[in-house]
Amino acid sequence: MVNWILKKILGSKNQREIRRLRPIVEKINEIEVQLQSLSDDALRAKTAQWKEALSKIEDPEAQEKYLNEILPEAFAVVKNGARRLVGREVIVNGQPNTWNMVHFDVQLIGGIVLHQGKIAEMATGEGKTLVATLPLYLNALAGRGAHLVTVNDYLAKRDSDWMGTLFNFLGLTCGCIQHDQPPDFRREQYACDITYGTNSEFGFDYLRDNGMATSRELQVQRGYAYAIVDEVDSILIDEARTPLIISGPSTVSSHQFDKFKPLVEQLVKKQTILCNQLAAEGEELFKNGKNEEAGKIFFRIKLGQPRHKALLRAMEDPERRRAIDKAELSMHGDSQKTELFALKESLYFTIDERAHEADLTELGREFLSPGDPDAFVLPDLITQFAEIDTNPELTEEQKLAAKSDRQAHCDAQAQRMHNISQLLRAYCLFEKDVQYVVEENKVVIVDEFTGRKMAGRRWSDGLHQAVEAKEGVQIDKETQTLATITIQNYFRLYRKLAGMTGTAETEVNEFHDIYKLDVVVIPTNRPCIRKDLNDLIFKTRREKYNAVVNEIKGAYGRKQPVLVGTVSVEASELLSRMLKREKIPHTVLNAKYHAQEAEIVARAGQAGAVTISTNMAGRGTDIKLGPGVTEVGGLYVIGTERHESRRIDRQLRGRCSRQGDPGLSRFYVSFEDDLMRNFGAAERMTKMMERFGMKEGEELEHPWLNKSVETAQKRVEQRNYQMRRRTLEFDDVMNKQREVVYGFRNETIDTDEPRKLIFEIIEEAVPAKVNELLAPDANDGRPDYTALLGWINSTFPLGITPESAQFEKMETEEIANWVVEKVKDSYNLKVKHEDQNAVIGLERYIILNAIDRLWQEHLFAMDSLREAVYLRAYGQKDPLVEYKTEAYEIFVDLMARIKNEVLNNLFRSTSNLLAFEQLLSSLPQNFLSQEDPLEGPSAESSPRELVGVTIRSDENKIGRNDPCPCGSGRKYKSCCGRTA
């Protein structure tokens, strides 16, 4: 009821919105009529005039205002341009085509919505490609670039060729980013007024520009003013879980998957044997009418192997299913906790299919590591540390050593447990040809929503390697992240973002809450006359597929084309085999070869065509009906399973009945489908099956059942939304850090005077270090000047002696200022006689190098932190809070380390060390101290000593175990080197 009211209100709000835009549409059309009398050149001249006017406006807000004012006329120019092109030949992807489009009114409405930075929901076939030309043209006039983002390279090329004709005609340039282009070429594409490309190309260019390029010339993008994301739901929602990552080989490799694989394999076998025995027992009990006991036994199988065949078979039988559900329900009561625990412990491991988790039990641990019950338990570090701390027999150093030993032991333990749990997941939850395929000795992820193979992407956290170990293919080296961003965060960079898709309505809340994007549903050009039939519900998958094949046979007989949607590659192949047996010619698409698939999908509307396709294969290509097809009812869309998300189902249905065509859609569902097993109200379904007395081969159909399926879908959608939200919350932390670091990096690249930055760093980092080193020592409460001297002399060529410095007589702040000035002076001196251009380059390089090296280390640390906080979740702490707190700490530390690294390299990487030394030897002896008010000219210090031991290139860097150069007699690592 509440929903219904909400819908009424929302619906009418949407209608009001559309109604408000109608007058603008009329105005556009009026102006367009007037424009018809202009010459082509006069029309084109408008573009140049507007560009000129806008180039004089600096403020983006003011530009936006101007754009709003000229919108009706600018849209009219685009529409009129389209009209002038009608009949003209256009080469699209190498194929000749004839331009035949002039914007419909609803397309003008869509264009306005896109200009406003909202999502336009427009059904498939409504011509979104053409709609985008209106706001792209308008926004490109501002001269800051306008981007159109598509889902694959093929579509980017097709749309930029096609729409580029119109832009060029109107006097704008249009470029296209493709995967294999070199940087120079890319820069030219970005320099165009309008640029088409895929989300990952745009995102990777961003990462390369900001995280790797070392000069402006190597950067290709030029800002983020306006982007329209085509198929926006697919990009902002489906892809939300896999970030873009640029990685290189890792320097450390720690996995032991190959070592544990045989063990885990045996463990899984053991469990299978156990479950087989249980199944036999349970079967016997059921036969003897002992349902309650049998139910318990099968529930145990469910805990250990949720996809066990005997279990799935038992679930088909209403009576047995009820017994199993009852056993499960009874176990979840509070009083049953011990019994549930005992049940779990009778297995080797337990699987939670819904949560995607696998847990070892005591039995399993004993099997993997006989006689060592602690091998898979994380030690209690806190207690151990406390014991060490209170042990009077240990010296401080021994305590430290003991602690780091305990810590290392704990890390190894955690690593082993992690490897094994990932292997278990790989074996029990990841099925070949469903979640992944094996190709050319590689494990390739299959996107669960689209069925698309995601070449090059890897599961994180060792899972990918675990699956590689399972499949016996080469286990790829662990890679280290060099740069990463989620697609969402990339799009948040744009000043104005808009999107278009056929299916946004079910995700209105998510778009609004996370991206601040409103959705406006645009009416279709012609009324949609598609018939959506009720779902047909079967007991088993087998019966379902038989029915689907029969239905296809019928349609094929009357020459009605059928598009069959599946949720996995495996299902597509199963269906294909069944059709082959029936001798029904058909085509299978797995969303792999975009170009070929586009051609095949385009033919899917011909009489008698049967096309099997995973969800998104051939997306973006519309299906035109062949001759005679309208008479037999248009395209028939059959879904072989309800998808986890209603949106994907809507997408499939939407592939027929475009532009007022007839069409028909129906979903086939079985109780064995994952969605039904995991999220359908099991109890209710079982009752229903009994009530209707379902028999072999029979099906159910009722609007009420559709509702019940949709309830299950909403539940999953909600859960998935929460998961995406969570991922984003974690990513937000990284995002803020990335902004700071990339900002600093770009400042370094852009500045003509990197020395200013270097001096700022000196002014910040030197006092910080002085404060740190002079903090009253715990032992005697006095500042440690020796350490300070050691640090100064090993970092800068100042050759300061205790006598020359007289630190005891100064306040800490004074000392800091004094050192800062010394360092600056000597730096100025160093660079004075070098090639100034080379110095600028070198200075920039010193900073960039420090940022890049430490930032990459930091990314690695952040990854580990993310893993670590999940382990802590057991300790009732919120992982996100923990993550935020610690991430902040290590980030502050990172910034300090970057600055220190710059200091360390200032004098080490001189472009002309020799020149510097010669210069020094020619100077008056007291050069460095001559302006120092605190100190008279020092007789002892010769120029040579001024440089002393302190100028060193990387080769003769002191080793950690060498005696400290400060003369303390301690090792370098436990003296001045301890913070370096």
Question: Using CB under 6 A as the criterion, which residues of the chain lie in contact with ligand ADP when the complex forms?
Answer: 100-104, 107, 122, 124-130, 622
Residue 126 interacts with, from Mg ion, ligand ADP, none (CB under 5-8 Å by kind): ligand ADP
Hey, which bits of 19-104 come out as E strands? 89-92, 95-98
> In the bound complex, what is the minimum distance in angstroms from residue 127's beta carbon to Mg ion?
8
Of 620 and 797, CB closest to Mg ion: 620
Query: Taking the C-alpha atoms of 93, 80, 232 and 5 in order, what is their torsion angle to the nearest 10 degrees?
Result: -150
Q: How far is the CB of 596 from Mg ion (least distance, A)?
A: 18
DSSP alpha helices (H): ranges in 528-616? 541-557, 569-581, 594-602
Which of 131/765 has CB closer to ligand ADP? 131
Answer yes or no: are the C-beta atoms of 197 and 177 closer than 8 Å: yes
When the beta carbons of 132 and 424 are compared against ligand ADP, the nearer one is 132
User: What residues numbered 113-152 form the site for Mg ion, per CB under 5 A?
Assistant: 128
- Sequence-distant (≥ 6) Cβ neighbours of residue 816 within 8 angstroms: 766, 767, 770, 771
Q: How far is the CB of 131 from ligand ADP (least distance, A)?
A: 7
Contact (CB, 8 A) for 822 and 798: yes
d(CA 48, CA 92): 27
Structure tokens at 455: 């070449």
Question: Are the beta carbons of 403 and 410 closer than 8 angstroms?
Answer: no
Residue 795 binds which entry of ligand ADP, Mg ion, none, CB below 5-8 Å type-dependent: none
Return the number of the residue (100 or 474) whose C-beta is nearest ligand ADP: 100
Q: What are phi and psi for residue 342, nearest 5 degrees?
A: -60, -40
- Cβ-based nearer residue to ligand ADP, 154 or 907: 154
Residues 916-933, buried b or exposed e (16+ Cβ, 10 A)? bbebbeeeebbbbbeebe
Question: Which residue lies nearest ligand ADP, judged by its C-beta?
Answer: 127
104 binding partner (options Mg ion, ligand ADP, none; Cβ < 5 to 8 Å by kind): ligand ADP
Q: How far is the CB of 22 from ligand ADP (least distance, A)?
A: 18
Nearer to ligand ADP, 129 or 611 (CB): 129
Partner whose binding site includes residue 622, from ligand ADP, Mg ion, none (CB under 5 to 8 Å by kind): ligand ADP
Find which of Mg ion, ligand ADP, none residue 641 binds, CB within 5 to 8 Å per kind. none
Least Å distance, CB 513 to ligand ADP, is: 26
Q: How far is the CB of 455 from Mg ion (least distance, A)?
A: 23
Q: Please say which residue, 102 or 574, places its beta carbon nearer to ligand ADP.
A: 102
Q: Check: CB of residue 219 under 8 Å from CB of residue 188.
A: no
Please give the Cα distance from 172 to 84 (Å, whole number). Answer: 16
Residue 611 C-beta: closest distance to ligand ADP, Å: 17
What's the closest the beta carbon of residue 230 comes to Mg ion, in angstroms? 6
Our CB check for ligand ADP shows the closer of 107 and 219 to be 107
In angstroms, the CA 148 to CA 132 distance is 8
932 binds, among Mg ion, ligand ADP, none (CB under 5 to 8 A by kind): none
Q: Is residue 521 classed as helix, strand or coil in its secondary structure?
A: strand
102 binds, among Mg ion, ligand ADP, none (CB under 5 to 8 A by kind): ligand ADP
Query: Integer distance in angstroms from the first to the last C-alpha of the chain?
Result: 67
Do residues 595 and 664 touch, judged by C-beta distance below 8 A? no
Q: Which does 127 bind (CB under 5 to 8 A by kind): Mg ion, ligand ADP, none?
A: ligand ADP
- Minimum Å distance from CB 661 to Mg ion? 16
Contacts of 566 (CB under 8 A, 6+ apart): 451, 572, 575, 612, 613, 614, 615, 640, 641
Q: Is 620 in the site for Mg ion (CB under 5 A)?
A: yes
The continuous run of DSSP H or E covering 363 comes out as helix 362-368
Quick check: 171 binds Mg ion (CB under 5 A)? no
Pick 228 or 268: Cβ nearer Mg ion? 228
Q: Number of residues in contact with Mg ion, rule: CB under 5 A?
A: 2
Whole-number Å distance between alpha carbons of 172 and 47: 8
Of ligand ADP, Mg ion, none, which one does residue 124 interact with (CB within 5 to 8 Å by kind)? ligand ADP
In DSSP terms, which residues pair with 134 in a beta bridge?
none
Q: Are 658 and 123 in contact, with CB atoms under 8 Å apart? A: yes
Structure tokens at 282: 């349970």
Closest CA to 137 of 222, 188, 223, 72: 72
- Report the residue number, 134 or 213, with the smaller CB distance to ligand ADP: 134
The CA angle 560-566-572, to the nearest 5 degrees, is 90
Quote the least distance from Cβ 159 to ligand ADP, whole Å. Answer: 8
Q: How far is the CB of 10 from Mg ion (least distance, A)?
A: 25
| Least distance in angstroms from the C-beta of 659 to ligand ADP | 7
| Burial status of residue 808 (CB atoms within 10 A of its CB: 0-12, 13-18, 19 or more) | exposed
Shorter beta-carbon distance to Mg ion: residue 174 or 976 = 174
What, of Mg ion, ligand ADP, none, does residue 508 touch, CB below 5 to 8 Å by kind?
Answer: none
Give the DSSP letter string of 475-519: -PPPEEEEEEE-HHHHHTTSSEEEEEES--GGGHHHHHHHH---E
Which helix (H) or strand (E) segment is 24 a member of? helix 2-35
Cβ proximity to ligand ADP: between 662 and 879 the closer is 662
Q: Of Mg ion, ligand ADP, none, which one does residue 243 interact with (CB within 5 to 8 Å by kind)?
A: none
Of residues 524-543, which lie at the interface with Mg ion (CB under 5 A)?
none
Can you give the binding site for Mg ion, defined by CB under 5 A? 128, 620
